[in-house]
Amino acid sequence: MFEAAELGHSIDKETFRREVPALREALLEVQFDLARRKQFPVIVLVGGVEGAGKGETVNTLNEWLDPRQVETTAFSAPSDEERERPPMWRYWRALPAKGKIGIFFGSWYSDPILSRVEGGKSKATLEQALSDILRFERMLADEGVLLLKFWFHLSKPQQKKRLRALEKDKLTRWRVGPQDWQRYRRYDRFRSVSEAVLERTSTGHAPWIVVDGSDERYRSLLVGKTILQGLRKRLANGAAEPNGLSGILAPSIDTANVLDALDLTAALGQQDYARELERWQGRLNAAARTGGFAKRGAVVVFEGHDAAGKGGAIRRIAAALDARFYRVVPIAAPTDEERAQPYLWRFWRHLPRLGHIAIFDRSWYGRVLVERVEGFAAEADWLRAYAEINEFEAEMTRHGLVMVKFWLAISKQEQFRRFKEREATGFKRFKLTAEDWRNRKKWGVYARAVHDMVERTNTAAAPWTLVEANDKNHARIKVLRTLTQRLEAVK
């Protein structure tokens, strides 16, 4: 892929001087249009060999564009905070909102390439990372993100010449250090690995643009015009349309679903409950303080029927834990800020550090439950969400987080009783809304959505635990016991 970038592309000063004003004006026009419409975000990835003009081009873009609508993020070695989360966490946090342009100086490609070139990681490890990246970029494209990937290239002689020129000039010599020359000595391996990565990850929805970095004027015009062309095309077509369904669901030809198999008569007497509560809260506290868990962490997800007792179960967990090491994350309807991002963004930013527990009261499963049933998400979007959720949870478990997922189930009759009890109790009345009554009318439709959710996302690494919750005592103990046993199994 690099041969065409070694042809010695160049632009003379007169041509550059003549074309830049019109290009800058056009870029600002499309940028203002992008900001006004707020239909999609733009991500500009800047990567490549050392000395190929990446930093200068980023500075040029920040000069040509309106800085109020551009967010530039430089990614270097991960910080301690970043190392304690899954690798993609820091990139999710930096995603631009709809209507904005995010320039990523370095990206999710940097670590896999350098780990293969310098760290001796296996080819299989690199392939796993690239598979994760391809799924991530596919998701970004499906969410409407315009992703422009630039790779700045220099031949080995050109790189040597560039590094020496920078080192010779007293104003730029600070930019060249021992690490740059070490990487120069690995140029052949870096080129081989990088070329294989680009070939593997240059897709129809996110192709690589290889830029000859030897001439400053050429690379600036090429990058500027490519961004302009990409923005104009997308703005002319509007927000990206879904790229077809991500699969189909088996048709429902009977009324059976996974919830039917639950024995909702399961109950626990008050004396037995008090004894079991003390037992399992004590064990949970001990499990969360072991040395093994300090190197892991956990994500606990609560979903269930309205009024099924999620809040009560969460409070019993919290009572057993050190408040410094857990956080309850309540999930409601997305805010304007959250709607301007891919739907998983608001969950990624709440992932816990190692040794900590994040408890989600409702979660990312809203995409395949309420958003599916109420029509808030297009069919193509919630259908592809099953695979995206499985990958999200797989990334967490690969990083060492323990995934524990609960669905609290009650009968339709028990839900009605609890609704009426809430209506009659002053300090509980706030929990009951018109939306709860409206959702109740779609009981059967939600039951089908729950069945499909469990069927599609009940994985070995992140299994569902279905909890019979007509009796709150039974439900709370089952939740505590399940969570404790999962944490105790941590090595």
Same structural domain for residues 87 and 15?
A: yes
Sheet arrangement for strand 464-468:
326-330, 357-361, 298-304, 402-409, 464-468
Contact 191, 158 (CB under 8 A): no
Strands 146-153 and 208-212: parallel
Does 248 reside within a domain? no
Same structural domain for residues 269 and 397?
A: yes
Same structural domain for residues 300 and 227?
A: no
**Residue recorded with tokens 């992932």:** 351
Same structural domain for residues 133 and 229?
A: yes
Q: How far apart are CA 200 and CA 232, in angstroms?
A: 27
What local confidence, expressed as pLDDT, does residue 245 receive? Answer: 43
For the chain, the domain total comes to 2
Contact 367, 125 (CB under 8 A): no
- Amino acid occupying residue 74: A
DSSP secondary structure letters along 108-157: TTHHHHHHHHTS---HHHHHHHHHHHHHHHHHHHHTT-EEEEEEEE--HH
The whole domain housing 432 covers: 258-488
What local confidence, expressed as pLDDT, does residue 423 receive? Answer: 85
Q: Output phi, psi for 130, to 5 deg.
A: -70, -35
Same structural domain for residues 136 and 268?
A: no
Asked which of 189, 206, 237 is the last residue of a domain, the reply is: 237
Same structural domain for residues 187 and 40?
A: yes
Name the pTM for this structure.
Answer: 0.88
- Taking CA 186 as the corner, what is the angle to CA 181 and CA 187, rounded to the nearest 5 degrees? 90
Same structural domain for residues 228 and 309?
A: no
Does 233 reside within a domain? yes
Does 108 reside within a domain? yes
> CA 153 from chain center: how many Å?
29
Same structural domain for residues 278 and 390?
A: yes
Q: Output phi, psi for 329, to 5 deg.
A: -115, 100
Same structural domain for residues 361 and 455?
A: yes
Does 180 reside within a domain? yes
Does 247 reside within a domain? no
Handedness of CA 95, 339, 143, 41 (dihedral sign): negative
Same structural domain for residues 111 and 228?
A: yes
Does 216 reside within a domain? yes
CATH number at residue 425: 3.40.50.300
Does 253 reside within a domain? no
Asked which of 206, 237, 268 is the last residue of a domain, the reply is: 237
3-state secondary structure of 270: helix
Q: Kindly give the residue spans of alpha helices, DSSP state H, lying in 118-262.
A: 123-142, 156-168, 178-185, 187-201, 216-237
Q: For the chain, what's the residue count?
A: 491
What is the chain's pLDDT, residue by residue, as a tens digit (491 residues)?
788 888 889 999 999 999 999 999 999 999 999 999 999 999 999 999 988 999 999 999 999 999 999 999 999 889 999 999 999 999 999 999 999 999 999 999 999 999 999 888 899 999 999 999 999 999 999 999 999 999 999 999 998 988 888 888 888 888 788 888 888 888 999 999 999 999 999 999 999 999 999 999 999 999 999 999 999 999 998 765 545 444 567 666 667 788 999 999 999 999 999 999 999 999 999 999 988 898 999 999 999 999 999 999 999 999 999 999 999 999 999 999 999 999 999 999 999 999 999 999 999 999 999 999 999 999 999 999 999 999 999 999 999 999 999 999 999 999 999 999 988 887 777 777 888 888 889 999 999 999 999 999 999 999 999 999 999 999 999 999 999 999 999 87
Same structural domain for residues 267 and 376?
A: yes
- Taking CA 141 as the corner, what is the angle to CA 135 and CA 142, rounded to the nearest 5 degrees? 90
Does 252 reside within a domain? no
What local confidence, expressed as pLDDT, does residue 487 receive? Answer: 96
Same structural domain for residues 283 and 207?
A: no
- Taking CA 28 as the corner, what is the angle to CA 25 and CA 30, rounded to the nearest 5 degrees? 110
**Residue recorded with tokens 């009977």:** 254
